[in-house]
Every structure is written in structure tokens, then in C-alpha cells.
Amino acid sequence: MPPLRALLGFLSLAVLHVVCASAILSPREPSAPGIPFTRTSAIDVLNIDEDGTFDLEYFVNITLGGQPFTVILDTGSSDLWVYAPDANINVLNSSQLTANVTYGTGSILGSIEFAELRVGEYVVPSQAFIHGQKVLYPWLYQIPGTEISPPARRQAFIHGQKLGDGIPNGVTGIMGVSFESDVQSEVTGAIHKAWGESNTLGHTVLSNILGQNSTLQPFFDLSLSRAEDLEGGDTNGALIIGYHDLQHSAVALAPQVPRVLDNMWTGYIDGLTINGNEYPFSPSVAPNTPAGKLVSVFDSGSSGMVLPRAMVEAIFAQIPGSIVVNGTWYAPCFGSVNLTFTIAGQEYPVHPLDISLPSRHTSVSKSGQNTTFTVCKGVFQGLGPDGVNGADMILGDPFLKNVYASFNFGPANAEGDHSGTSGSFLQFLALTNADDAWLDFFLTRAAVLALLFPVAIDPVLLPQLFPADFGAAETATATNLTTSPTSTAPAPAGRSSVAVAGALGDLSVEDAPVLGSSGAASTSSALDKYGPAVVGLLGANLAAMVLLCVVALAICTRGVVRGGARARSVDAAYAPVKFREPKPEAGYDPEYDAPGLRYGE
């Protein structure tokens, strides 16, 4: 029989479920449109949309040749391309040139053409872009050197309105916002090769916008929210070109992180702490990197973090009950870790919500029945010893959600482009308060699991319940970490055994071992230990239950659960981009929500 504190925690979550469901389904006043910034006439803010279910990628709406498109915003590439065979794009000129952009296991082949581009309030009269003719699904699920091979179905050709498994319908291309160079931009390189190095027709989108608006400073800022936050409002992030948002203007005073590798948004990582303890860095794969530092790519087009394999294992070794199956990590849904990166001497905590994501999975049980359940997949992939594209790691959206990031090109060259050959740098402003994040984590994860997902199963139980898919599971090996002078108590981590017991009554869940970093069995769970602390000792008395209902109602109706210390001031001057409609259950791909990672070679 489950212990009393587990029962109280379960009842607490049940009340949270009922109250939140009532608040969401009941009519209420709409939130003010806008995004979480104070807007002034001097700031141009573009809505960025994200997948509202699995926190995959970030999109921006553009108008190209009079036709609207939704494209992925990518700091890891430079070209603009669309694939829309049925769209009547008003093409101004065709270059008779072709470009082939390769994304590892995918690519796009098309003609280089020119059309008017509108991005927010900015208008580029003639923007070079790739008009896709043949597209091999370009969304990478395997970085060179990683452990996970992409299923063949993810290499399907894009056709019509469906881009293939893994990308939401309606997304028709990519808008790169990296550096302009013959190496990074296929469009620029092709035009320079055909018409001379001094030709400026192949400018990237941001080179054109910055060059045509002399009042703009040569940088853009990104602020990405997370879909799992129970926040008010409909918008999910901001792209600001040429100005800092007033609420985050302190980013201008943040230490500058010089670009390390040519043609990519890269910088040195000074250190990493896991549960307050320093992780020892191995030598960098990048030449001339100072001892004790690593080089990272900062890539908004990557929906996960790609780290050295040993580093990934060290992270999950600190989350009891985690397993790895063929390179994919699974953690208990109520287990996480305190993860902090140090960059240019500043600490940037990662929210516990950004360590793993809830994911539906369908598998055949030992009895031969198809069962749909929830697991929480880690957002990390492991790299081999050679790194990726000359860097040691990629910090994608899970990191960028925790900072207000400014990408500064530095001065333009004589041709007016931003090649990033000198003077470019990044600046980061931390948005996550590590002390407040754990309460946010437990409340938010509990509500999201209760409202949106089927029963969650602890990873440690998966091999015995579903041996066909999880029989090869392994646990993490402990890593010797250096105790930091400022280290805090290890982050709570555990498993959601109560939910499993309720769904699988014939299984003795409480007797199942949970393997910690040393491989030893542990009988505690995060829900047993921390559930009452998070939502109150429900059942102790009636007053506690009433208080919980009030708090839950406030969370669901007013959006008081926030990611870190992010402010929520909105302006009603323009319409927001709303969350995407969830995928129809009938067409659901159980592997759709794998934490897909991509990077353009």
C-alpha cells in the first residue's frame, strides 16, 4: 500500500488537475495580445511561434513575394529557403543559379530567386532566397558523431502541405540568421562565384535589414519561452532587430562573449556545475582553446543540447532512476538536476523543466498489448570525441530559453555584409532564478502531466514492462565531480511511482528498484518526498485543501507559474501568434516528439 505522504501528494495533484481543467475549459476574459515585452515605437518586435505540445522549434511569420510563410528561425544557418510548390510567389528575378543546402542527412535543392520580403515591419525590396524544387527532409535527428540514427521515415521527401514527420504542418522553410559568407551561405557563395566577390545581390536577410535601416545597431536579440510554462498570454518569444528590449536592457552591460569559430555563433564555455559540483572539462577539440574551456555553438535551430557523451552521462547520473536506450536518455518525470553553465565569468542556470520533456510513447507490453504512456525524454544527445563542426557542443533551445540573448555581428565590411570575420560577439542575460525554479518545476510538471498526457511510467520500470523497446536499457556511471565552494544541496530527483501504481495495479511499483548514480537501489521518490512540500499537506485539514484550490486556480487563470524571473508585461498594439493546434490523435506518430536536433553543416 502506498505510504500516506504519497497518497496525500496524489490527492493534491488530483485537486490541481480538476481545478486547472475547470479554469482552462471555463469561459474567461482573453489575455491581452502581445508578447512579454514593453513595446516602444523605437523597438520592432516579431512574434515567434512554437509547437505548443512538445516544445520543439521556434517559427516566425514572413511574407515573401506576396505570400505568407511560416519559417523556422535558425541561428545555425544563413540562407532563406521555402518549399511551396502550390504558392504563387511573385518572383522579381531568377538568377538561373541553383543552390544545394545540406543538413547532414537532409538537403534542399532549388533555384536562387529574388522577391520582396516582409519580416515584421521591415521590408526588403529584393531578397535572394532558395525556391525549393527538391527537398530531402532537412531536419536532422542525428548530428555527426552522435549516437542516435534517424528513422528512415524522417528522410521522406517534403510534399505539399506536409513537411514530413517531426515538423508541424504549415512550416515551409528556414530563415537563417547566422553570418554571411561564402562558406556559411550557399546563396552568397553561388552568386559570388558566378558574378564576382563584390556582388551584393546575395545578401542574407539580416544583412539587408540592417543595411537598409541605418538607425539599427548591428545585432538581434532572442528571447524564447517554453511551452510547458503555465503562463498567461498566447505568444511565446521575441526576435528584436537592432535594439534591446527595455525590460532586458541590462544585456548591454553583460560581458561580451567573442565569437570563436568563423561563420558560426560560437563562444567559450568556462565551466559547468551539476548539482553545485564542478564537472571537469576534457581538452577542447577546437585548436588554441584555453585549458579548462570548451567551445559551444549557440543554435536556435537545435531543439536540444548536444554535449560530450561523458558530460551527458554525468548529468543523468545525478538523476536517480534515469536510463539510456540506444543513445536516448529517459528520466523520471519528477526528477531533474541543477545545471549551470559559466560563460565569460557569469553563471547561467538551466531551469529543471528544460532537462527533459514529457513524451507520449506507444509500445507492446510483455502481454502483447499496445500501450500508450508517458515518458520524460532527456533533451541531450551525446557527442563522440571529435565534436561537431569544430566545436565541442551545441547549446540549443533548452539553454536559450533561460537567457535573453543578444547576437552582435560587429561592424559590416566594405560590401555591407556581416561576414563575422572580426568584432562579432554574444551577450547573455540570465532569466532563470535557480532558487525559485524548483517550485515552478514541480507545480508545472504535475499540472502538465495531469492535463495533457497519459499516465507517466518511471524509466526504471520500462525494461521489465516493455522489453521489446527498452530491454537494452543501461544506467549512468557515476562521474567524480569537484565540490564547488559555492555548491548547494543536490537537486531533488525521483520517480512518479504513485501514477504508475494507479495505472498498472498488477505491478508492485513500490518494490521496484531505482538506480542512482552509484547503481544502488533507492526507495524514495520525488513525489513521495516533495509532493506535500510543493502543493501543501492536503488532507491534513480542510483549510489546506481550500488553500491549494485557490493557488491552483490562480496558477491556471492568471499565469503565475513562470519560467524563472521572466517578466510578463504585454502590449496590445498588435496581434500575437498563437500556439499551434495539437496534432490529431488519429495521425499521431509515437516518435514525433523525440527531441530532434539539427545543425546545418
- Do 276 and 339 meet the contact criterion of CB atoms below 8 Å apart? no
Round to the nearest angstrom and report the end-to-end CA distance of the chain.
54
Q: Are residues 234 and 321 in the same domain?
A: no
Q: Are residues 431 and 510 in the same domain?
A: yes
Q: Give the count of beta carbons closer than 10 Å to the beta carbon of residue 435.
A: 9
Q: Are residues 360 and 222 in the same domain?
A: no
Secondary structure element (H or E) that encloses residue 273, with its range: strand 271-274
For residues 255 and 472, the model is more confident at 255
Mean pLDDT value of segment 412-440: 84
Rounded mean pLDDT of the chain?
A: 71
Q: Give the count of beta carbons closer than 10 Å to the beta carbon of residue 527.
A: 28
For residue 409, what are the contacts with CB-CB under 8 A and spacing of at least 6?
179, 206, 210, 218, 219, 418, 420, 423, 424
Using the structure block, give the residue that is written with the C-alpha cell 574551456. Answer: 293
For residues 343 and 31, the model is more confident at 343
Asked if pLDDT for residue 87 goes beyond 60, the answer is yes
Please name the residue ranges forming H helices in 358-507.
397-400, 434-452, 462-465, 467-470, 497-503
The residue annotated as part of the active site, out of 44, 51, 74, 440, is 74
Task: Report residue 589 as a C-alpha cell.
Answer: 506518430
pLDDT, tens digit, 9 for 90 and up, residues 194-242: 898 888 899 999 999 999 998 999 999 999 877 665 554 434 678 899 9
Phi-psi region of 237 (alpha: psi -120 to 50; beta: other; left: phi over 0): left
Q: Are residues 188 and 271 in the same domain?
A: no
**What local confidence, expressed as pLDDT, does residue 227 receive?**
63
Secondary structure element (H or E) that encloses residue 376, with its range: strand 370-378
Q: Are residues 280 and 399 in the same domain?
A: yes
- Of 541, 557, 572, the position where a domain reaches its end is 541
For residues 594 and 334, the model is more confident at 334
> What distance in Å separates the CA atoms of residue 332 and residue 496, rounded to the nearest whole number?
7
For residue 412, what are the contacts with CB-CB under 8 A and spacing of at least 6?
207, 210, 211, 218, 418
Q: Which domain holds residue 173?
A: 48-241
> Which CATH number belongs to the domain containing residue 70 in this structure?
2.40.70.10
Pick the most confident of 18-22, 146-150, 439-443: 439-443
Task: Please tell me the least confidently modeled range out of 285-289, 326-330, 404-408.
Answer: 326-330
Q: What is the DSSP string of 7-62?
A: HHHHHHHHHHHHHHHHHHHS--PPPPSS-SS---TT--EEEEEE-TTT---EEEEE
Q: Are residues 237 and 293 in the same domain?
A: no
DSSP 353: G
- Do 188 and 99 meet the contact criterion of CB atoms below 8 Å apart? no
Q: Are residues 151 and 288 in the same domain?
A: no
**What local confidence, expressed as pLDDT, does residue 303 receive?**
81
- Of 524, 541, 558, the position where a domain reaches its end is 541
**What local confidence, expressed as pLDDT, does residue 238 receive?**
84
Task: Please tell me the least confidently modeled range out of 26-35, 90-99, 499-508.
Answer: 26-35
Q: Are residues 260 and 213 in the same domain?
A: no
**What local confidence, expressed as pLDDT, does residue 484 receive?**
57
**What local confidence, expressed as pLDDT, does residue 287 receive?**
95
Question: Is the residue at 186 inside a domain?
Answer: yes
Is 511 considered catalytic here? Answer: no
Mean pLDDT value of segment 86-107: 82
Asked if pLDDT for residue 250 goes beyond 70, the answer is yes
Mean pLDDT value of segment 456-463: 92
Residues comprising the chain, all counted: 601
Is 74 considered catalytic here? Answer: yes
- Of 190, 214, 241, the position where a domain reaches its end is 241
Asked if pLDDT for residue 528 goes beyond 80, the answer is no
Q: Are residues 96 and 147 in the same domain?
A: yes
Number of domains present in the structure of the chain: 2
Record the pTM.
Answer: 0.73
User: Residue type for 483, please?
Assistant: T
Asked if pLDDT for residue 465 goes beyond 80, the answer is yes
Calculate helix-pair angle for 4-25, 542-558, nearest 10 degrees.
40
Rg (CA), the chain: 24
Q: How confident is the model at residue 52 (pLDDT cuts 50, 70, 90)?
A: very low
**What local confidence, expressed as pLDDT, does residue 53 receive?**
34
Mean pLDDT value of segment 456-477: 89
Of the chain, the percentage scoring pLDDT greater than 70 comes to 60
| Closest residue by Cα to residue 147 from 325, 391, 399 | 325
- Do 476 and 317 meet the contact criterion of CB atoms below 8 Å apart? yes
Mean pLDDT value of segment 484-510: 39
The dihedrals phi and psi of 308, each to the nearest 5 degrees, come to -55, 140
Question: Is the residue at 448 inside a domain?
Answer: yes
Q: Give the count of beta carbons closer than 10 Å to the beta carbon of residue 383.
A: 25
**What local confidence, expressed as pLDDT, does residue 454 receive?**
82
Mean pLDDT value of segment 247-274: 96
Q: Are strands 58-64 and 45-50 parallel, antiparallel or unpaired?
A: antiparallel
Q: Are residues 204 and 81 in the same domain?
A: yes
Q: Give the count of beta carbons closer than 10 Å to the beta carbon of residue 255.
A: 12
Mean pLDDT value of segment 266-287: 97
**What local confidence, expressed as pLDDT, does residue 517 receive?**
32
Pick the most confident of 44-48, 67-71, 483-487: 67-71
> What distance in Å separates the CA atoms of residue 511 and residue 523, rounded to the nearest whole number?
8
The residue annotated as part of the active site, out of 51, 245, 299, 528, is 299
> What distance in Å separates the CA atoms of residue 452 and residue 454, rounded to the nearest whole number?
7
pLDDT, tens digit, 9 for 90 and up, residues 1-44: 444 434 444 444 444 444 443 333 333 332 322 222 222 222 23
Q: Are residues 226 and 303 in the same domain?
A: no
pLDDT, tens digit, 9 for 90 and up, residues 300-341: 888 889 999 999 999 999 999 999 998 899 999 999 999 999
Question: Is the residue at 563 inside a domain?
Answer: no
Mean pLDDT value of segment 171-194: 86
For residue 249, what are the contacts with CB-CB under 8 A and spacing of at least 6?
none
Task: Please tell me the least confidently modeled range out of 80-84, 155-159, 219-223.
Answer: 155-159
Task: Report residue 557 as a C-alpha cell.
Answer: 487563470
Task: Report residue 84 as a C-alpha cell.
Answer: 511551396
**What local confidence, expressed as pLDDT, does residue 72 receive?**
83
For residues 294 and 193, the model is more confident at 294
**What local confidence, expressed as pLDDT, does residue 173 receive?**
86
Q: Are residues 151 and 255 in the same domain?
A: no
| Closest residue by Cα to residue 203 from 213, 193, 211 | 211
> What distance in Å separates the CA atoms of residue 35 and residue 28, rounded to the nearest whole number?
19
Q: How confident is the model at residue 483 (pLDDT cuts 50, 70, 90)?
A: low
Question: Is the residue at 535 inside a domain?
Answer: yes
Convert 529-568 to b/e letters by CB count within 10 Å (16 or more is b).
Answer: bbbbebbbbbbeeeebbeebbebbeebbbeeebbbbebeb
